[in-house]
Structure formats: C-alpha cells, structure tokens
Chains A and B, each alone.
Chain A
Amino acid sequence: MEKRIKERKVLTGEQERHLLYQMKLIRRFEEKSAEQYTKEKIRGFLHLYIGEEAVAVGVTQALSAEDYVLSTYREHGHALARNMDPGSIMAEMYGKQEGCSKGRGGSMHLFDATFNFYGGNAIVAGHLPMAVGMALASKKQQKKNITCCFFGEGAAAEGEFHEAMNLAALWQVPALFICENNLYAMGTALKYTHAMQYIEKKGVGYGIDSSAVDGMDLIAVSKAANDAVKYIKTNNKPYFLVCNTYRFRPHSMFDAELYRDKKEVEEWKKKDPIPRYQQDLINKKRLSKKQIDEMDKHIEAEINKAVTLAEEGTWEPVEDLTKFVYSGQ
C-alpha cells in the first residue's frame, strides 16, 4: 500500500510530515479544548475527535480546495484538516464573535465558506441530503468539484441516510460519503443498533460502490480516499467509504462511559494512528528527532495562539441578538 502511494508520487517527505503535523495538531487542539471545557471557557456540548485523526486527515488530503465538505458535531478535526484557523475555531467554541461562525454556532456548528466547509451539522444524518443537493448543483453547473460528507455509523440507521444514498445513486452525483464507524452511537454499541454491521454493505444495496478501510491507519485511509476521489471523478458516480475507527474519549463531556470496558479502550489505544504514523516516518528516515521536537513546539505555539485569540476575543453586543435570521440583517 505504502509502496503504491510512493509510486504515484502522491506524497513527498514534506507532505508526509504535514499529515503527521495535522493529526498531532488535532490531538493537541482537542486536549486543549477539554482543558478549556473544564475551566468552563467552553460550554454546551463538546465532542472530541481524539483517536479518529487519521480519518479526517487521510480523507481531507485527497480533496481539493474547491470541494465541498460537510461534517457532523464531532467536526473540529475535519475543520482543522481543512486548514481552517485554529484560533477561529477556538474562538467559536468560546462563543466570541471572532469565531468562524461569529460565535453563533459553538463547537457543533463550525462553518467557513472560504474553506468550503459547510458545518458542523448536529442532527445526526440531517446533512446527508444537503450533501447530495450540493453535489447535484455541481453536476448541474458542470463544475469539477466533489462533495465530501462525513458522518458516523449512528447516522446509517437514520432514514435520511437511506434517502440520501438512494438519491445520490439515482442522480449519479459526485459525492464521497465517509462513514466514521467508531462503534458507538453515543453510548450504544453497533451490535445493538445495526442488524447489518458491515456498514459498507448498505451502500451496495443502493448501487453505490463501497468499501471499508482501517481508519486507524493514515496510509490506508489516504490511499482509499485517493482511490475514491479518482473513482468519483472518472466515473461521475458517488462512492461510499467506511473508516473503521474508535474514539478514545467519551462521547461528550457529559458521558460517564458506563457502556464500554476500559480494557477495550486500552486495546484500541494500541492502534493510535499518531505514534503509528510517526514511527513509520522515522523508519523510512523521513522524520528526525529534531523535526519531531520542532513540530511539537510549533503545534504548542499554534494552540497557545488559538487560545489567546479566543481569550482576547470580544462578545457580540446583545443588541445584535436577532441578526442573521434573514439575509441583509
């Protein structure tokens, strides 16, 4: 797999280090978010992406800036992988007007039109039909971009998932559906919620070519995503990719995690995508100890800068409360 990527010259050493950088940035950003949550700087629901970094980074590297990206309420990782400014994300979670959604959305509603990042959608599966519509618009406008839609395996039980899959296949729209199967829909395990637990088979039922990949392996995810994007562009058809992954943290900050065994979590942590990829790069002599230190330092600085921006951010005046309900307000 690794060899094929090299053959295709998809990644230079610098690009590989960038992917590692992005995964580590997400990890540290999420750790800092949890910290700021316990300090009550961030309120509401906070869903951390820790453990799933290879999915956002591996898939996003396959996309171009013109592609549309839609995500869920566990979307900080996708937003960061899309190169949105960590400061604008942190400020959003603080509820400050310097946030990417002017503070109106919070953790679950990150939007940034300049990065073609369309949320931050917090009704499970509610954004799937929208993704189909965006891809339909691209097709009608004869644009070359695709629409990439992230969702969890919980969404695959919703009617909107099934309606969206049928429409995408019926209209043959350029959409990449990414199911991040982290095995738990909030606190209920896959085996208690899906009769067919190979989620990728649900795509095939609609005539959509589908596959599954080890979502803890950045190289495997990257390759699968590259292939999927190429498939969509070559065949003018949607594609469904299931990334089997795991979140190391609870569902949200309110979750006491009574539904899963600590041993299970520890087992999955052994598959942590970050040390795995880092070691891989070291073995390939693409990464030195010095580069790791520099990378970690840079990340720390970036996170600190994000927190400072959020801390120094300003509150929207209450007089503006009813803005953004209709256009032109």
Chain B
Amino acid sequence: MKMEKMTYREALKQGIREALLNDERVFLMGEDVGHYGGAFAVSKGLLQEFGADRIMDVPLSESGFVGAGVGAALAGMKPIVEVMTVNFSLLAMDQIINNAATLLHMSGGQLNVPLVIRMGCGIGRQLAAQHSHSWEPYFASVPGLIVLSVGTHEDARGMLLSALKSPDPVILFEYTFMLNMDKEVAPDAGAVDITKAKVRRDGKDITLITYGNGVYKSLEAAEELSSQGIEVEVIDLRVLRPLDEETLLASVAKTHRALVVEDAWRSGGMAAEVFSRIIEKGFFELDAPLQRLCGQEVPIPYPRHLEEASVPQPQDIVDTIRKMIGL
C-alpha cells in the first residue's frame, strides 16, 4: 500500500473531516475554528465545506463553550470541542471535572457524556511560561475521563475517530510542536485502538515508555542507540487514562529495564504512575532501578536554549540509556 506523506496538521484535519462526514451529530466548536481557519490552521476550509452550524466559532469563554459541549452531548449530539491550548483549559476545569467526568456517576449511571475535547499542548515554540504547559498528568488523574495523547501522525489521523466512538468524555492532547512535521501515513489510516499502549519499536535491551512529544524523540534516540548495538523497545502510552499496564509489564518482563521520558514536570508526572504500576506488579522482573527523564521543574522560559534545556532531548535519552545499560 502506498504511503502518503502529510503533516501532523493535515492528518488532524483529515480526521476531523472524516468525523464530520461520518455522523451528522458531530460538530466542531471552538475559538477561531471557523472564519480564522483554526488557531493552528487545522480546521482551515472546514467552515466553507460544512457550514456554520457544524463549524462553530465561539467567544473567548472556555467554561461556557466547554459546558455547552457537555450539555449538547447530554442531549444527543457528538460535539468536538476545541480548547485552543491546554493552557486555557484551566478556565474550563469546572466543566471538565465537575460535570463531564462526574455526571455519569452522580446520576447513578443515567447520564453519559459523549464529548471529545481537543487541546493543543506542549512545548517547543518559544511561547514562554503561560503557553507551554504539559498537563496531561493532571487530567490523567481524574476518574471518568479518557485521556489520549496524539504522539504520531498515524494517531493524528485516526485517534479522533476512535474518541468519537466513546460513550464517555475524552480529552485528546495534540502537540503543536509537530504540526508542520511531515511523515508517511497509510492512505487507509483510520480509527486506532484506544485501549492499548502501542509498541512503536521492538527491542530487547531496555523499555522506553513515553507519549506525546516524547515519541519521535525517543525513536530518534533509539535509532542512534541501535547503531551502538543497544536495542530499545519504545512504547507510546497513547492512552494516559486508563493506563494499559499489560503492555508495559510484558515489555519489562522482556527487557528488565525501563526508562520513562516525558515533557511534563517530574513531580506527580505520568512517570510516577507508570513506575508505581511496574513496581507493584513487575518488581522482580527489574535488573536495574527505574529511571525517568521529565520536564525540569520550572515555568518554561522564553529563550530557545533554556526552553530546550527544560525538557528531555534525544541526546539526553541516549546518554541516560547508555548509563543504565552500563556503558
């Protein structure tokens, strides 16, 4: 099958477009998604194609339109709500946690909320502290939410379609750093398995667990290490909640070593949770202490060199793994 080269942006757009074509209950609502074409040009042209009822520009009122998404989902629609970036999601936290994640339970199972919230996130464009957050771990701690991280072009193309099949609210993290990146995508790429983590590269020497911006960085580091004779198994968590322990434990049982790489802050990050699961159920498989490369615990600074130093880079991954292997 001939692979098609496309940007992460184009993959996201094709996913949204397919979702709109598939189901007339689906509509996209968010700041600047219509007339502007999307803050990151992801929804460019969709207003012209689908009209203002299905591509809805909204005022700057995150709590208001996320809450409206919850209500529309309750009343039989399938809204895709775009929160321009995760940084603004704090303004909608009441709706996400107190309503979207909680209504099914509070109502004794009567009211489910089939809502998808897309958020641009991550670091890497010199946007400084207020626009560079990595808050996947916060959302991943909330029962009632399904939290997905779009770490590859394949998932950019297909994950939204999977998310829309969920009867429960899904948070979809997209990474603005990757928007212009070109990769090969299968022409029939579609819905992906959002119950499992994905092994992106097989290896026998060490398990590298990551998500989001970490996936391509980790694969790059794994290539470099392969040339040095170290075979790294790279696992893309993909589903940050509920975590797929099985895939992680199976890999650790094979390699007996694990490293977690993420951009989010170290304290209370995904690494902490992943470690706990491995220690609880796979402790005796380990031949070496678990290690993590996380975001430095600092609001992300503006200058390029400091920004780069704030999160793990491929070379950091290479160096850490060499040490863990004992080279």
Contacts and interface: CB of A to CB of B under 8 A. Distances in A.
A105 interface: yes
A327 B112 contact: yes
Interface stretch (B41-49, B67-75, B252-260, B297-305): B67-75
Given A164-B64, A325-B143, A105 B75 contact: no
B144 A163 contact: no
Contact of A133 (B71, B103, B110, B143): B71
B99 interface: yes
A301 interface: no
B108 A130 contact: no
A134 B95 contact: no
A163 B64 contact: yes
Interface in A108-123: 109, 111-113, 118-121, 123
A317 interface: no
A109 B102 CA distance: 11
A129 B168 contact: no
Report the contact-size class of chain B (Cβ under 8 Å from the partner): 35 or more
Interface string A83-126: 00000000000000101111111000101110000111101001
A325 B110 contact: no
Interface string A140-182: 1100000100000000000110011011001000000000000
Contacts of B61: 159, 163, 166-167
A133 B144 contact: no
B77 A137 contact: yes
A134 B72 CA distance: 5
Nearest to B144: A325
B105 A325 contact: yes
A129 B68 contact: yes
B68 A167 contact: yes
A138 interface: yes
Interface centre among A109, A130, A131, A328 (most CB of B within 10 A): A130
A228 interface: no
A128 B144 CA distance: 21
A107 B126 CA distance: 49
B301 to A, nearest CB: 30
Contact of B68 (A120, A133, A329): A133
Nearest to B67: A129
Given A130-B71, A133-B69, A167 B76 contact: no
A132 B68 contact: yes
Interface centre among B65, B94, B109 (most CB of A within 10 A): B109
A136 interface: yes
B313 interface: no
B167 interface: yes
Given A101-B107, A140-B27, A159 B63 contact: yes
B39 interface: no
B107 A105 contact: yes
A134 B143 CA distance: 24
Contacts of A133: 67-75, 79
A93 B241 CA distance: 32
A130 B107 contact: no
Contacts of A127: 67, 99
A160 B64 CA distance: 6
A45 B107 CA distance: 17
B199 interface: no
A71 to B, nearest CB: 13
A323 interface: yes
A162 B71 CA distance: 17
A129 B59 CA distance: 13
Contact of A324 (B77, B99, B104): B104
Contacts of B53: 140
Contacts of B68: 129-130, 132-133, 136, 164, 167
A68 interface: yes
B108 A137 contact: no
Given A123-B98, A167-B64, A137 B168 contact: no
Interface in A312-329: 323-329
Contacts of A163: 59, 61, 63-65, 67
Interface of B: 27, 53, 58-59, 61, 63-77, 79, 94-95, 98-99, 103-112, 143-144, 146, 167-168
16 contacts: A101-B106, A101-B107, A104-B106, A120-B106, A129-B64, A130-B99, A132-B68, A133-B69, A133-B70, A140-B27, A163-B64, A164-B67, A324-B108, A327-B104, A327-B168, A329-B109
Interface of A: 68, 97, 99-105, 109, 111-113, 118-121, 123, 126-138, 140-141, 147, 159-160, 163-164, 166-167, 170, 323-329
- Give the top 8 A-B pairs by smallest Cβ distance, nearest first: A133-B71, A129-B67, A163-B64, A102-B108, A137-B75, A133-B68, A111-B107, A130-B71
